Structure 1
Amino acid sequence: MSAKIETEFGRAIPPAPRHAITFHLPLWSNLLRFVARDQELLGQLKSVYPRMMMNKDVKNLAAAILKHMEAAENQILFIFASSSSAAECVEFAINPKRGENVVPPEEISIRVFDIHVRLHTVLFPAARYPTLNSFWQNAGTGISSRLAEECLDRINLLHQVIGDSTPPPKVEQSPAHGQIQERIAGLLERAPVGPSREAKVSPEDVYLFKTGMAAIYGLHRYLLKKQNGGSVLFGYAFHSTLHVFDDFGPNFRLFALGNEQLNELENYLTSEIEEGRKVQAIWTEFPANPLLVTPNLGRLRKLANKYGSLLIVDDTIGSFCNVDVLGVADVVITSLTKSFSGYADVMAASAVLNPSGSRYTELKSMYQEFYRNDLANPDAVALEHNSRDYLARSKILNSNTLRLVEYLQTKAADPTSTVSKVYYTTTSPSLPYYKERMRPATADFTPGYGCLFSFEFDTLDAMAAFYDNANVHFSPHLGAHWTLALSYVKGIYGQDLAAVKPYGLKETQMRIAPGLEDIELLIKDFEKGLVAADATRVKET
């Protein structure tokens, strides 16, 4: 067995650098407090997932700006790198769709400041934080911790900008941006699936964003500005993705059961056309988080063609070293925060246009009109460095994940075990759809099935015992260097379990993102938790 984890509650997984994006949440009792959004517990976190809550550097920068402007003590500041993000934050808060949580326009304002960069800030009363934090979490466009650190180092230069006549400080883009774009373009064109494509992806087709949600939110907003049409999400996806479509734009429809609802989807697309509306885009994850169901992209492509919709595929879980969805997607969205980065210390994303797609010219023009590169230079530098060993790490992640899945499948087949089911690409009836887009093996890399799976216990007591005894870190995130476990459904939907139960999401499911550890030691780390889980059945009898 590997050494016992000594990471303290609320701290990031080792080596826990300044800009870590994880936090360790040991003990089932702490998870229950997290589900209840216990403010005392949340306040004890030394590290946070920056899109969930403001990182320490971002908080300190906000405090410095509030002090500079002599704001009242009950005021909070959100900081953005672009004027459009700040304006959209305000628009979100004052929209009557917020219902009883709507923020009166007179309570919220935008202030602009210069340091070595221009900062667009949104000022609002602390009592309105829950409403505004929904935008921070789901749009993912807030300032990064590395850029906040740079600003803090130059805080003596801080001054407010009044009016529109003062040009912003000039910031030269880091060479790392171009290096990342070239790397991604090369990865998307290595070992392609299917017939030769008419055009190859160029670095100019790769658009970088500060978070995965920012890439999704950004494209969705661009489409709304051009078409203001409805959207379809096919398959139950990552929770923030649903919020983006639900909170922004008209006529959002979720087909949570995915492939089981293909005929329903076609009927819906037909009815929208008959009503004089068009679905602007069909979005899907390949495969879906957290139950690893793979959508039938071939059928979705045909429906998109027939009804004039874009097909947008999030390949984060499959990862573009393993799968090639560019042959069917109009746009490929990838959270680079995950396995592409791999070290849990930087956030970023890409949106890649398919240059062979029939809508390429239209999409290219749209990005040229609306896109702004808000990925800060220090984040790009960190991401470029981290992603140099992407293929080597992905080989280990694929292998470790498959071995753990096979190990847990033997438990699920054992009637004496409290493990009842394993959810992975290889265990799903949708596996053939994954294999259709799986890249062929090459001399340097053999594709696999990704670095995320879930498994289910037959009782909540068993899962709680596993949580308290398994020798792994418990934290949101995937694709990191250390294995991360998360009671995803309980932790994310713990206050609304009935709403997601029809979609196969159960509070007894544990989501696992294996890391780079020695697999034999990792299995033993899991075994300790499973022994404790099985002991709960003995107590019951």
Structure 2
Amino acid sequence: MALEIQTPFGTALPPAPRHAITVHLPEWRSIVRFKDHDPELLTALKSMYPRFILHKDVLALTQKIIEVAGVEEGQGQQGCFVFPSWRAARDCKDFATSPRRGPGKTVPRDRVSIRIFKTHGHVPLLYAVMFPVESTPTVHGFWVNAGVGISSRLAEDCLRHIGSLREVKHDDEEEEERGSPDGLAHRQIKERIAGLLNRAPTDPHRTARVSPNDVYFFSTGMASIYWVHRYLLTKYSAPSVLFGFSFHSTIHVLEDFGPGVDFLGLGSVQDLEALEKHLLLASQRERERGKRGGGVQAIWAEFPSNPLLSTPDLRRLRELADAHGALVVVDDTVGSFCNVDVLDVADIVVTSLTKSFSGYADVMAGSAVLSPLSSRYAELKALFETEHRDNLYTRDAETLERNSRDYLARSAVLNNNAERLVEYLHSEALNPTSGVKQVFYPTVNADTLANYTAYMRSTTPEFPRPGYGCLLSVEFRDVETATAFYDHLHVHKGPHLGAHLTLALPYALGVYGNEADWASEYNVRQAQVRISVGLEETGNLVDTFRRAIEAADGRSAGLQN
């Protein structure tokens, strides 16, 4: 029998190391308070996903930088965000001062500065964006969505030598260092990822292979999306398409930087028809301007989508992209390297390595891989070699390398646990007396299952259980039932997926908050709870969910009487 969770409110999943990236929010009302930015709750949090709230080491370093920088006369109290590269700091300043932020939100450009700091000789330069403290909400939007800030381990190393913190001048601010050295851990992870992508391909006769040199690292999963988008803009400077629903920051990145994005959030057959019309019109406009391009630089898609696990028709996306000169960029984070092979349809594969590849919720990283099967491989290779800066800090790479050694073994357990839990929840959805209304997972998303299985890897001795990943969602008959289920569910609760322990989150409430009505247009509803299964014993895990559903049905019946 599963035991009640003993993890205190506001702390990380056990073993809760210094660089944990999770938080336990055990009650529905705590999610509501988090969404409402309740200052008492935010103060009580001891751990948090670091793109949402600054890690304690990053916050401590930021405060020291503000002290060393001082306050210029007439500037008032200063806010600060710290980045590992000049480019990231420059983009943050451009974001905050852009008129696109809107009246009352745009920060005057002369009130934002970039100042460069250094502690000791073994860490990168620190690029601090300084601004009026009252503009923090605006600037924080860049930190959250782009994901290009400094890591907690870099901050920790700087704090160890904080007495040496000093401001420095750059002779040429535009001349950027190449980022972290390509150390042993970086090379080992590149080789591991290339091996995973070459393993058990969907086409057994494939001869083209991913080289470790085709793997590019970033400081977070969102940073991989942000920088790939920015690289493409330098060459093509055209609008994008986001096909199907996605993690909330992706749409913001594609909207906020460049000439815009067309969002087809259902990823349905009707959306495919709409996409074809959109591409035709974009190509026609380009021809009228006397240009040869197709008018859309890239079609982005998650495989499958977060949080409803809908799988796009990649083959059709590839056909449309080829017909209109667009690239295809696939985010395979949820499906994961071990389960799916999208190289023959994607020009670029982006992945949040923070999730199941790492698996232990204590490091952030992302990757972008150029497909050697892409007809535009040489073109993209030249672009990446020119634009890419590796800002994955050495100690983060070392942690990721250690964590990912058992990636295949963990993934087999995650696949099995998710499939068994889905089987149970789906049986409840078929029961007219149950509060469960619907389950979302590739195996039960009948309309798009074939789109997923077309790209599943085959069984091999080292990985006998390719499957559908760790993520699923369950919808209840109403918010009251979902609330009762969540409050009685004895697993860890909060944002993140792919961890060693199961996590639950009321996704629409916790992620979209005031945008919940917009999200509901794409079937992401308040009565849904997203589940990322962990490595627990399968029978105990299913029993834990059974008890929560039974309690929720009892509670909901009581509310109706």
TM-score grouping bracket, smaller chain normalisation: over 0.9
The answer for the alignment partner of 2:556 in structure 1 is 537
* 8 A contact 1:28–1:468 mirrored in 2: yes
Counterpart among 438, 444, 460 of residue 462 in structure 2: 444
Q: Which runs of 5+ in 2 are unaligned?
A: 287-293
The answer for the alignment partner of 1:25 in structure 2 is 25
The answer for the alignment partner of 2:100 in structure 1 is 97
CA distance in structure 1 between the aligned counterparts of 2:450 and 2:180, rounded to whole angstroms:
47
The answer for the alignment partner of 2:214 in structure 1 is 205
Counterpart among 208, 226, 240 of residue 249 in structure 2: 240
SS in 2 for 1:49: coil
CA distance in structure 1 between the aligned counterparts of 2:421 and 2:4, rounded to whole angstroms:
19
The answer for the alignment partner of 1:364 in structure 2 is 381
Alignment pair present for 1:426 and 2:435: no
Aligned-residue offset at 1:195: 5.3
Q: Which runs of 5+ in 1 are unaligned?
A: none
* 8 A contact 1:281–1:309 mirrored in 2: yes
Counterpart among 326, 333, 336 of residue 350 in structure 2: 333
* 8 A contact 2:180–2:391 mirrored in 1: no
Identity %: 52
Alignment pair present for 1:495 and 2:505: no
CA distance in structure 1 between the aligned counterparts of 2:210 and 2:314, rounded to whole angstroms:
20
AA aligned to 1:39 is P
AA aligned to 2:503 is L
Aligned-residue offset at 1:39: 2.1
Counterpart among 481, 486, 493 of residue 467 in structure 1: 486
AA aligned to 2:495 is P
Aligned-residue offset at 1:53: 1.6
Distance of aligned partners of 1:328 and 1:411 in 2 relative to their CA distance in 1, 3 Å threshold: same
Deviations 1:349-388 (A, max 9, x none): 1100011211111111111111000000000000000000
* 8 A contact 1:471–1:528 mirrored in 2: no
Aligned-residue offset at 1:71: 3.2
Deviations 1:198-229 (A, max 9, x none): 42100000001111110000010111111110
* 8 A contact 1:83–1:120 mirrored in 2: yes
Counting only pairs closer than 5 Å after superposition, residues 145-224 of structure 1 correspond to structure 2 as 145-164=152-171, 172-194=181-203, 196-224=205-233
The answer for the alignment partner of 1:268 in structure 2 is 278
Alignment pair present for 1:127 and 2:134: yes
AA aligned to 2:385 is Q
CA distance in structure 1 between the aligned counterparts of 2:55 and 2:358, rounded to whole angstroms:
19
The answer for the alignment partner of 1:483 in structure 2 is 502
The answer for the alignment partner of 2:291 in structure 1 is none
Counterpart among 108, 114, 128 of residue 110 in structure 1: 114
* 8 A contact 1:27–1:467 mirrored in 2: yes
* 8 A contact 2:113–2:129 mirrored in 1: yes
CA distance in structure 2 between the aligned counterparts of 1:517 and 1:385, rounded to whole angstroms:
21
Aligned-residue offset at 1:528: 2.5
* 8 A contact 1:198–1:356 mirrored in 2: no
* 8 A contact 2:96–2:138 mirrored in 1: yes
Aligned-residue offset at 1:41: 1.1
Aligned-residue offset at 1:74: 2.4
After alignment, is 301-310 or 524-533 more displaced? 524-533
AA aligned to 1:159 is R
Aligned-residue offset at 1:69: 1.9
Aligned-residue offset at 1:502: 1.8
* 8 A contact 1:470–1:527 mirrored in 2: no
SS in 1 for 2:102: helix
The answer for the alignment partner of 1:516 in structure 2 is 535
Deviations 1:70-110 (A, max 9, x none): 23772121111110000000000001000021010121100
Alignment pair present for 1:62 and 2:62: yes
The answer for the alignment partner of 1:37 in structure 2 is 37
CA distance in structure 1 between the aligned counterparts of 2:268 and 2:431, rounded to whole angstroms:
30
* 8 A contact 1:483–1:512 mirrored in 2: yes
* 8 A contact 1:80–1:120 mirrored in 2: yes
The answer for the alignment partner of 2:147 in structure 1 is 140
AA aligned to 2:118 is D
CA distance in structure 2 between the aligned counterparts of 1:71 and 1:11, rounded to whole angstroms:
34
AA aligned to 1:314 is D
* 8 A contact 2:180–2:390 mirrored in 1: no
TM-score by length of 1: 0.98
CA distance in structure 2 between the aligned counterparts of 1:460 and 1:526, rounded to whole angstroms:
17
Aligned-residue offset at 1:17: 0.2
CA distance in structure 2 between the aligned counterparts of 1:538 and 1:312, rounded to whole angstroms:
46
Distance of aligned partners of 1:503 and 1:168 in 2 relative to their CA distance in 1, 3 Å threshold: closer
CA distance in structure 2 between the aligned counterparts of 1:401 and 1:250, rounded to whole angstroms:
39
The answer for the alignment partner of 1:457 in structure 2 is 476
* 8 A contact 1:20–1:47 mirrored in 2: yes
Aligned-residue offset at 1:172: 4.2
CA distance in structure 1 between the aligned counterparts of 2:541 and 2:551, rounded to whole angstroms:
16
Distance of aligned partners of 1:477 and 1:171 in 2 relative to their CA distance in 1, 3 Å threshold: closer
Deviations 1:323-365 (A, max 9, x none): 0001110000010000000000000011000112111111111
Deviations 1:104-144 (A, max 9, x none): 01211000012232111101121111111110011000000
* 8 A contact 1:258–1:295 mirrored in 2: yes
CA distance in structure 2 between the aligned counterparts of 1:165 and 1:394, rounded to whole angstroms:
46
Aligned-residue offset at 1:165: 6.1
CA distance in structure 2 between the aligned counterparts of 1:198 and 1:308, rounded to whole angstroms:
25
Q: How many residues align?
A: 541
SS in 2 for 1:50: coil
AA aligned to 1:331 is I
SS in 2 for 1:439: coil
Aligned-residue offset at 1:283: 0.3
CA distance in structure 2 between the aligned counterparts of 1:233 and 1:529, rounded to whole angstroms:
36
SS in 2 for 1:406: helix
* 8 A contact 2:508–2:525 mirrored in 1: yes
CA distance in structure 2 between the aligned counterparts of 1:444 and 1:315, rounded to whole angstroms:
21
CA distance in structure 2 between the aligned counterparts of 1:372 and 1:137, rounded to whole angstroms:
20
TM-score by length of 2: 0.94
Deviations 1:405-435 (A, max 9, x none): 0011111111111001000010112000100
